[in-house]
Structures are given as structure tokens and as C-alpha cells.
Amino acid sequence: MKVSYLRRYRLAYYLKSTALTMPVLPIWCSEQAGVGVSIYLAGMAIQGIASLAIDFPLSIWSDKTQPRIPYALGLGIFALAFIATVIGGLGGFVGYLVSICLAGALMSGSDTALLMNITKEHFQAEIYELNRRFYLLTSGLFLVGVGLYLVSPKLLFGVQAFVLVVAACLIATIHTADHKHLETGMSQRATSESDWRIRPTLVWTVVVMAICLAGGEFEAANQLLNRSLQILVAVVSLPEINSLWTVAGVLVLTNMLSSLGLGARARQLSEKHGLRATLGVITTGTVSALIFINSGLLPVIVLGAVLMGMTKGIYRPLFTTLAVQTLPSARWKARWLSVTGMLSSLASSLINVAIVLGDPPESEIIWHMVIQMLCVVVPTVVVISTWQRLEVPLAHTTGTSNTSRRVTQLGEDRPAWFE
């Protein structure tokens, strides 16, 4: 592991944070002529769907080149998004959406692949520490961003674009071994005992769809909270304080609590009680968080944001683990996680588009999310819990019997990205 490359990657990872603009961007965009809250939320959801549509063809190109190239290019296009924001109005918002759509598709997967190349067997430890430090080190940027915004919105968006360009330059200077060789070696080690594939069954298909749909529901709720929290906090801000400072303070508080490990501790507790209990807890926690942020009371809104942060620390690793446990082939780990991730993202984007149809006010949008989440998540949770012991037939290509079966206890934390 080359230390200088890792340091550059870490610095670029922190610099690509949008904490500078996060407290003000939803407010700025929703106040632009021709935009509004519903169009802002719908636009963000639609660009997510469009990004998924171009993600696969771009990933083919990314696989044929070094991951630093699409990653650096994506960061550069991401910087252009904030230049478009300076234009203002509906045209500036559309330019912002197009830019982040392209940037997201380019960076998707290439950032992780580059880190894998740099850290190799230390990947798991590094990705955990990187995320923990990210929340801790970028918390103060919320306050800096509000200060710059009050001086000049154009200055803030210009600084954000410049920081992203610096991150792109750092990534472009990282030269590592070809990630294909690394992936091949890891796949060979993971499949030293056999080369099996699942013979798809109806039960297996239903469980996979339930996992993707449930994961998409939780991600949709988290995205809605991230995109509406600033607007809701600004409405109930203390009259003696500028509402933007209140928004920044809430974001700093939730980030600091996350960096102290509340989410990690909650996940550790969930692992002791099994899959059914964990799914029940995160469903209750997510619904409660949405209700809390819709209360109109600042302390309760803060409580809802913290609760959602803790829930996020549980559902993301849980559904990644469930996706790995339904792996259809011993050699398809990376591809399978990509496919299930895209299906979950598609579900979350469609949900966020559906709940803003008809241009309802913010409070109704959140209630729409709560109601449809209960209607969709509860049945999918029942499906996953019912088939917690998943048994599927295997076909071996090594000459062994074709009658063997693979039995998986869903929810166990054994499968990881690399073992």
C-alpha cells in the first residue's frame, strides 16, 4: 500500500464533500424562479434514475481503463454543477441536475475500485475509518458554508467548485496497478473450493426483489430527509437567529454524533438480536424519524435527524450483507452488488418521484412517504423474514454432483466485501 497515494485519496475524499453547500443548496434551489420544493425534489429523483441509465455503459468504459480517470473526470463535472448553480433560475437548476447526473455515473464504482487498488487487503479497515473521519472532519464546513453564503452565494458556489477541481487533480495523480488483476486474484481466492452457480428458483427471485425493494425504500426515506431537512429546520428556526445558522447547527450536531459511533453501536446491538428484530427496529426507526422531522418543533426535528442517522448505520450494511448472501455465482460478487445496488437505487428514485406528484406541500410529501413505506416495507420485511433460511439448488462446473444445495441463513454477518 503506497502511503502517499492513500493520503492523496483521503484528502480528495474529504474535499469532494458538499458540506459547504448542503445547508443552503435546497433552500437556494427551491427559491429560484420556476423551481420550488416539489420540482427540486422531483428533479433530484429523476436525475438519479437518469444516472442509473447511463451508469452501466460508463462502467464498461471504466472497467477498460484505470479507475482514477473516470473518478477524476466525474469530480471535474461535479465542479461544473456548482458553476451552473450560480446562473440561477430553472436553467441553472437543469444544468446542475445534468452535471451531477453525469458526475454520479462516472464516479459510481470507480472511487471504490481506486481505493481497493491502493489499500488491497486493508480495504475494509480503511473504508470504515474513512467514513468515520469524513463525518468528523467535514462537520465544521456547514458553518463555513453558511458564512460564505451570507457574504455572497456566488462566492460559496465558486469555492465549492474550486475545491472539487482540487480533488480531481489529486485523484488524477494517483497511479496504481491494474484493478482487473486485483479483482481476478481476489475472485480466485474466494472460489478456491468450488465454482458454483445458483439455479434460480421462484423463492430466490422473490427474496432478491424484496431485498432490493426494501433497501430502496429505506434509501428513499433517507434521501427525502437529506433534501428536506434544511427547509423544515429553516421554517422553525429561532427568530433571533438566522435560519441558515440553525440549519448548519443541526447538521453539525447530527454529523458529530454519527462520527462518535452511535450508528456503529446500534448496528452491533442489532447483530445480537437477529434479522427479524433488526428489520422491525429499522422500519420503526425510519417511520419515527420521518414523523419527528414533520412535527414542526425544532428539538423533535433534531431528534428525528439523529434517529435517521443511526438507522442509516444499520440498514446500509445490513442490505449489503443480504445482497451478498443471495449471490448467484461464486465469481459474480462485484457484478451482483452492482446489479442489486442499481435496482435499489432505481426503486428509491421512483419512490421519490411518486411522492411529489401533484406538487403537495412539504408536510404532505413526508406523510406520503410514511404511508407508502408502511404499505411496501411491511410486506417485503415479512417475505425476507419468512424465507430467512434460504435454500437453493447449485450447479457445479468442477464435475461434482448437480444435486447439492446451498443453504443460507439470511442476516448473518459472515459475508463481507472481502473475506
| pLDDT value, residue 110 | 79
Query: Which residues face 407 on adjacent strands?
Result: 391
pLDDT tens digits along 172-209: 998 876 545 544 444 444 444 445 667 778 888 899 99
Strands (E), 87-205: 196-198
Close Cβ partners of 351 (under 8 Å, ≥ 6 residues apart): 45, 216, 217, 220, 369, 372
**Of 206, 201, 413, 202, the residue nearest 322 (C-alpha):** 413
Lowest mean pLDDT among 30-34, 191-195, 382-386: 191-195
Mean pLDDT confidence for 258-270: 62
Residue 298, exposed/middle/buried by CB under 10 A (0-12, 13-18, 19+)? Answer: middle
Lowest mean pLDDT among 271-275, 302-306, 362-366: 271-275
- The residue assigned the cell 448473518 is 412
| pLDDT value, residue 404 | 65
pLDDT tens digits along 103-156: 988 887 778 778 878 887 777 667 767 777 887 788 888 889 999 999 998 999
Instruction: Report the SS3 class of residue 327.
Output: coil
pLDDT tens digits along 33-65: 678 777 888 888 888 788 877 876 776 676 677
pLDDT tens digits along 85-117: 888 888 888 999 999 999 988 887 778 778 878
pTM: predicted TM-score of the whole model, two decimal places: 0.71
Residues in the chain: 419
Mean pLDDT confidence for 231-255: 80
Report CA-CA distances (Å) from 245 to 140, 239, 332: 12, 11, 47
pLDDT tens digits along 290-341: 999 888 888 898 889 888 877 877 787 778 778 877 877 766 665 676 678 7
- The residue assigned the cell 429523483 is 45
Mean pLDDT confidence for 333-356: 80
| pLDDT value, residue 419 | 30
| pLDDT value, residue 89 | 84
Report CA-CA distances (Å) from 98 to 24, 109, 164: 20, 19, 17
Lowest mean pLDDT among 25-29, 99-103, 411-415: 411-415
pLDDT, mean over the chain: 79
- Of residues 157 and 324, more confidence is placed in 157
| pLDDT value, residue 334 | 58
Question: What is the CA 154 to chain-centroid distance, rounded?
Answer: 28
Cα distance between residue 12 and residue 160, in whole Å: 13
Domains and CATH numbers, the chain: 1-190 (1.20.1250.20), 197-419 (1.20.1250.20)
- Written as nine digits, the cell of 59 is 462502467
- Of residues 244 and 218, more confidence is placed in 218
| pLDDT value, residue 132 | 73
